[in-house]
Structure 1
Amino acid sequence: MTDRPSDSAPDLRILGDEITLQPSGFVEPPKRTRDEGKEQALMENFARFRSEPLQFLREVSLYVSGTGWRAYDHVVGQPIFYSGFSEHIKTEVMSATLLQTKIAELADMRVAVEEKEGLLNKLDNDFQTKRAQRRGVIVQSLQDVAEHLTDSMICKFESKTFIRGAYYMVTQLLLRAYHQGIHVSSEEVLRLRNVAEEAQRKKQSIIFLPCHRSHVDYVSLQLLCYRLGLALPVVVSGDNLNFPIVGSFLQHAGAMYIRRSFGDDQLYTTVVQAYIDTLLRGGYNLECFIEGGRSRTGKLLPPKLGILNFVLDSLFSGRVEDAIICPVSTQYDKVVETEGYVTELLGMPKKKENLADFLSGGSSVLSLRLGRVDVRFHEPWSLRGFIDQQATRLSKVPSAMNINWRDTKNATVRQKLLRTLGYKVLADINDVSVVMPTALIGTVLLTLRGRGVGRTELIRRVEWLTGRVRAKGGRVAHFGNSPLSDVVQRGLDVLGKDLVGVVDGLAEPTYYAVDRFQLSFYRNMTIHLFISEALVAAALYTRVKRGGGPSIQDIPYQDLRDQVLFLSSLFRGEFIYSSEGLNVNLERTLAGLEADNIIHIEKDEEGHITKIGLSDAERAAGRENYDFYCFLIWPFIESSWLAAVSLVGLTPPLAQKADIWIQTSKALSSAQLLGKTLYHQGDLSYFEAVNKETLKNSYQRFEEEGIIHVVRSRDSRIPPRLRLAPDWRPARDPATGRLAPTAGRLWEFTEKIASSRREGKNRRDGATVSTRVVGLAEELGGKMFEEAMAGGGSVGEGKGKGKGKVVAPATLSGEEARELGRAVREQRRRRRLESRARL
């Protein structure tokens, strides 16, 4: 289905107190004079404060007093913002049977421990009395802790006056940065209101599950719900945002604070579950980010299933009947945090959020003109209906596991439903996401050969890409009747000269990527639409890179399929694939590429595909369309190749008999350093390949496939450690101790990735490159082993500023070794049962 201006619903433009129904294809309104509307005046409110203080105060008073729609009185949803709301919720949580049962259980466990340790003497005449008294003290102590946890956690919807003022202030701040407002689909908004009215009647919660690219995400959704008269959702937030002043403000505006990690804290976990139960039973709306944290790369991250696990438990246990799921996509012309993301992805530690940074950076951020925000709502659906549908579907699928898929107490069933739910939400978000002009421009600039591109060619390629997005069922931000040249210029203005440079004084303006790493954030906003084509193009490239005539570059179908299977498995943690399976997806993708005249397909007499190659038309066009798909995937292939090469450095020294475990974060830092070195020496084409998140995803895949083993200590202070699996270790020369550069299972695996890498100027000297790359990896690995052994095999406290940090032991304890053995066996069993393709 295409999203053409002629058949798509109009947008609602939300700008402060003005909602305008825009015609399809709207980009931005013509310039107005001061008297033609409120938009210009609204944007000048803060600027007029000193010259027009009375007018400014009057407008503020409209929000505080709740004039008209600002009153927020007729809300679709359960009652909130009344005096005593927080105490009501706290009472519901504390009186929950689930929580009281857990407190009693923990108290009994503690009393049993004290009996065993002799703190309670069973021989005392009044033992039972003392025991009951001690148990009562423990119960009361746990009650106090639970009450404190609850008070710190719950959102505090208390005052309409507060929320009116907060709405006004936040709107003013947001629209000074995103000066073209928030856009939504009128059709989606009307549908959402109808669903909300039905949910209100049934006293069911709407669970909003947005993607997460910016702190603006939850601000924009709260503003939309307020302006459209929907009950504000409780927003699940990390307690890292609970810093002075701002933390309290957010909590009264809807934030629910939870720890990043629960560990083995049973009481805290139960308090969270009791609070989720209370919200869902009461029909209060909930919002949590399906990806967990913000995406630093621009594309969707794998789902984080913690909160959804609590939600499913509420339904599985029968404590809650149903809830409504609403996936949400939030897209930006420009994400304000991308510069900080690049710093993090290059290995710099993430800075903790604090008020000082917010205030010091606020003035510069608010003075930016970042374009607009587009929010899209997928059609909401019943969570209970989803669970029943999946149970029915899974029951009909033959499986090696004898499982009753309707038994929701079974851990395997729960995990399967949870993962399926997470990836369905991600797919729904992708389905409704809007591609912004900045994403189109960023994608074009990073998928063209050469230093730069002329203005005419840039516009032509943006037009081509727009057509491809729509042909793939994607949505493009409305362009309206504005010439495409104006839309492109608008996108260039928003990206700014720090990301896209222009060379003037030539025959035509020529644009080039200034910061390719940061610009890749915008390219990654489109890659989900073309991942199947990109994987096919990369598989075909194993032959195209050989050069020569068409007969040399054509690839047998089975070889293409094998490489596509390999790459798709390699990137399973990076991208979201269609659920229809490899064969269906591959055949559809090949048919589409053939219809676009990019490839030609040869078939036998029975109609089976035998061979694939580039079409004559694509060769005549300089491979520009085929190269587009390759350029999309090459940075990710490069990063996976780098991660695989870095594993060479995890080969133990020849004299090392016992296994030495390397801290995972140090291995990733070493891989980044290796990548930066190879990039500057010409052995990497893309600096984005040193992206920490992509490298981390690669290591995760290597762990899943048994290439590396990772141990995670029960002591949360001890960071994860890893080693290269024994059957994947390259051989060393017995005499010199040096690694064999081009032999062994790991190198064969690395070469399979490399076969789809972009050919570069230093890549054709074979053994010389292999020797140099392996030598660097081995050198860096040697330093890691030296540091690990120097750190000792014991746990020790740091000193000075590092006090409290724990050195990661270089060897495993007996308990860790046994846990590792169980984990390795479980991984092997899971791979056999799921019949997954091995890398």
Structure 2
Amino acid sequence: MRLPRFRALADRLASKLGKDVGAVRRDAQDRLGEMVSVKSRAGTWLWDHALGPAHTRAFTIDADAIAVARLKKLNEQHALVFLPSHRSYADVFVTSKALSEHGLRRPRILGGDNLSFFPMGPIARHSGGVFIRRSFKNDEIYKAVLQEYLTHIVASGDNLEWYMEGGRSRTGKLRPPKYGLLSYLVYAIRSGAAKDVVLVPTSITYDQLHEVQAMMAQETSGAKPKEGLPWLIDYARMQQTWIGHVHLRFGEPLSLAERLTEAGDDRDRNRYLVEKTAFEVFKRINQATPVTSQALATLALLTLGDRALTLDEVYRQLAPLLDYLRARSLPVSEVEPLRHHHGVMTTLETLVKTGIVARFDTGTEPVYRIAPGRHAVAAYYRNSAVHWFINRALLELAMWKSAHSGAEDLVKAGKTETLALRDLLKFEFIFSDRVGFREELLAESDLFDPDWRNRISTARQRTDMLGDAPFLIAPTVLPTFLEAYYILADRLAAVPSGKVVDEKALLDACMSVGHQYVLQQRVLHPECLSRELFANALRLAGNRELLAPGGPDLAKRRVAFARECESYMQALIELAGARRQPQVTPPKEPVRVAA
């Protein structure tokens, strides 16, 4: 607090809040003490050689060395702010190890104060870790001090790292971003303290994670165990078994100063800019995220629910997906072996070993299925790649719905359905703006059928085109989300329209009634029972003004929301029935020479 900026901040706060300057300075000093960090040789050594291995020994780190070299050069001129996807408690140790091994300056890592317990807290604080409160929206002094401290860090040229999702993803895909800390960086530049900071979209993708099953259990119960020394010991013990690779990739960096220049001095545009920048960061994270063999294998097995598949059937499910990845030149990791039966079997066995896939091999040939009770875990791995398939899925479902709509203008009906689906799932996925979205759908259509423009005039043409497709992805990737949204909409419609919605009670009801609906097969995918998915559906309901008390019209609109979701669920069932199994000629197996 001896720095002039901090003293001036305390004076401004005292005037704004109508409090004594001395009292405000003491409060600000206390709050700064909660978050300030140092970088000591001992703290850094303990982070790298004690805490680090305890979290990362389960993985082999696969970092994009070329991208890191570019970032190292960029770091010579600019402070870098790494904004990774958040999948595991191991994330911060993965990034620290990879960046330091490639000679990049160690960032100061922002994390929740729930992890500030001994010995994690002292070690992290002495190796650049900054602990912040999980919630501080009503504490004006805390917000101002944190903003000034982050400004001080980037102005001094230090790198930063934090997780904009605000917590580990429970679904395997990106959660909606939180904007608060990003707005503080805008302040750092606007105030003149820093000329620029460069945002680095960072993708962290695990082949598998030991902690996923525990996260799924928390999703069901709604209870999260308290972090502390016993928890840390249990977590470190869980990491003793190697489980695969973790893939560290980097999206195209963004200059925050350049984006601010585009916005000018308009305050409203600046607020919109923060939101738009956050979504652009997440879009670039998705673009850098590779498709893994485990993601494809779980996608294939989840396609047919509880039905077991032979090795050859899994292979045939995967073959057209691999062709699709190649046609789009998507980033991948170790998926080429899936073009051979041996590679498929190897991937399936890694999932059998961790209990996600069950193998039955006492019949005429082995068959594989998702293990009972592990659908949510399998969906977690599938969802790490689901963003690459979402536009294709929306295109398929919109094509089917428009073909059965009875509309005279099927082209217009198809566009309407596509935009309606985009709006329904806008809190679930990072979509491009409408112009970009349209261009992406046109590209998808060309891949779907190069002659599509001549095959969309009639309902029969549309259904034939879907039936002739080498694969259909909508019945695989969309049901989980639409069923979760249906459950939320159904329970919301049961709330009297004149009553204030108790959001926690509503989410609890979604879990309990949703479980009933799974047992009754009113919904068919157990992985739809996710508090995270229900929460996103709740955000959509709020966006559609379906939460605040109202009259009879509100009740009708809530019912319409549920029927909209139910209509899409039924269409997906029908679309799945139209799917024709592709005929695939297996390539020659690679020759394996005995050692």
Question: 1:661 — aligned with what?
Answer: 500
Question: 1:433 — aligned with what?
Answer: 289
Greater helix proportion: 2
- What is the alpha-carbon distance in structure 1 between the residues aligned to residue 160 and residue 409 of structure 2? 51
- What is the alpha-carbon distance in structure 2 between the residues aligned to residue 297 and residue 330 of structure 1? 14
CA contact 1:331–1:375 (8 Å) conserved in 2: yes
Say if 2:38 is the partner of 1:156.
yes
- What amino acid is aligned across from residue 308 of structure 2 in structure 1? G
User: Of 401, 421, 429, which residue of structure 2 is paired with 1:575?
Assistant: 429
Question: 1:693 — aligned with what?
Answer: 532
- What amino acid is aligned across from residue 356 of structure 2 in structure 1? L
- What amino acid is aligned across from residue 377 of structure 2 in structure 1? Q
User: Of 42, 49, 66, which residue of structure 2 is paired with 1:168?
Assistant: 49
- What is the alpha-carbon distance in structure 2 between the residues aligned to residue 109 and residue 416 of structure 1? 26
CA contact 1:439–1:523 (8 Å) conserved in 2: yes
Say if 2:424 is the partner of 1:542.
no
Question: 2:587 — aligned with what?
Answer: none
Question: 1:380 — aligned with what?
Answer: 253
Deviations 1:373-404 (A, max 9, x none): 1101223332212333xx2xxxxxxxxxxxxx
CA contact 1:539–1:756 (8 Å) conserved in 2: no
For CA contacts below 8 A with separation 6 or more, give which structure has more relative contact order: 2
User: Of 198, 202, 206, which residue of structure 2 is paired with 1:324?
Assistant: 198
- What amino acid is aligned across from residue 360 of structure 2 in structure 1? V
Q: TM-score scaled to structure 2, two decimals?
A: 0.88
Deviations 1:699-723 (A, max 9, x none): 11111111222xxxxxxxxxxxxx4
- What is the alpha-carbon distance in structure 2 between the residues aligned to residue 218 and residue 470 of structure 1? 32
Question: 1:407 — aligned with what?
Answer: 265
User: Of 561, 571, 578, which residue of structure 2 is paired with 1:749?
Assistant: 561
Say if 2:332 is the partner of 1:476.
yes
Structure 1 pair 760–537 and aligned structure 2 pair: CA distance change class (3 A): closer
Question: 1:369 — aligned with what?
Answer: 242
Question: 2:378 — aligned with what?
Answer: 519
Q: Secondary structure at the match of 1:625?
A: coil
Deviations 1:580-600 (A, max 9, x none): 3454344333333223x8x78
- What is the alpha-carbon distance in structure 2 between the residues aligned to residue 211 and residue 252 of structure 1? 24
User: Of 442, 466, 484, which residue of structure 2 is paired with 1:639?
Assistant: 484
Question: 2:29 — aligned with what?
Answer: 147
Question: 1:339 — aligned with what?
Answer: 213
Deviations 1:731-750 (A, max 9, x none): xxxxxxxxxxxxx4433333
Structure 1 pair 293–172 and aligned structure 2 pair: CA distance change class (3 A): closer
Structure 1 pair 171–344 and aligned structure 2 pair: CA distance change class (3 A): closer
Displacement of 1:357: 1.6
Question: 2:591 — aligned with what?
Answer: none
- What is the alpha-carbon distance in structure 2 between the residues aligned to residue 423 and residue 706 of structure 1? 23
Displacement of 1:342: 0.9
Q: Secondary structure at the match of 2:57?
A: helix
- What is the alpha-carbon distance in structure 2 between the residues aligned to residue 760 and residue 618 of structure 1? 12
Displacement of 1:516: 0.9
CA contact 1:540–1:555 (8 Å) conserved in 2: no
User: Of 215, 221, 224, which residue of structure 1 is paired with 2:89?
Assistant: 215
Question: 1:177 — aligned with what?
Answer: 58
CA contact 1:218–1:235 (8 Å) conserved in 2: yes
Question: 1:247 — aligned with what?
Answer: 121
Aligned-residue CA RMSD in angstroms? 2.8
Q: Percent identity?
A: 24
Structure 1 pair 585–726 and aligned structure 2 pair: CA distance change class (3 A): farther
CA contact 1:594–1:601 (8 Å) conserved in 2: no
Question: 2:589 — aligned with what?
Answer: none
Deviations 1:565-613 (A, max 9, x none): 1111011000011233454344333333223x8x78536xxxxx67684
Question: 1:310 — aligned with what?
Answer: 184
Q: Secondary structure at the match of 1:756?
A: helix
Q: Secondary structure at the match of 2:178?
A: coil
Q: Secondary structure at the match of 1:307?
A: helix
Displacement of 1:153: 0.4
Q: Secondary structure at the match of 1:442?
A: helix
Structure 1 pair 471–155 and aligned structure 2 pair: CA distance change class (3 A): farther
Q: Secondary structure at the match of 2:173?
A: coil
- What is the alpha-carbon distance in structure 1 between the residues aligned to residue 308 and residue 533 of structure 2? 27
Aligned length: 570
Question: 1:458 — aligned with what?
Answer: 314
Structure 1 pair 262–519 and aligned structure 2 pair: CA distance change class (3 A): same
- What is the alpha-carbon distance in structure 2 between the residues aligned to residue 508 and residue 151 of structure 1? 64
Displacement of 1:484: 4.0
- What is the alpha-carbon distance in structure 1 between the residues aligned to residue 131 and residue 103 of structure 2? 25
Structure 1 pair 538–479 and aligned structure 2 pair: CA distance change class (3 A): closer
CA contact 2:87–2:172 (8 Å) conserved in 1: yes
Question: 1:602 — aligned with what?
Answer: 455
- What amino acid is aligned across from residue 746 of structure 1 in structure 2? R
CA contact 1:330–1:376 (8 Å) conserved in 2: yes
- What amino acid is aligned across from residue 381 of structure 1 in structure 2? L
CA contact 1:437–1:487 (8 Å) conserved in 2: no
- What is the alpha-carbon distance in structure 1 between the residues aligned to residue 520 and residue 14 of structure 2? 63
Structure 1 pair 479–503 and aligned structure 2 pair: CA distance change class (3 A): same
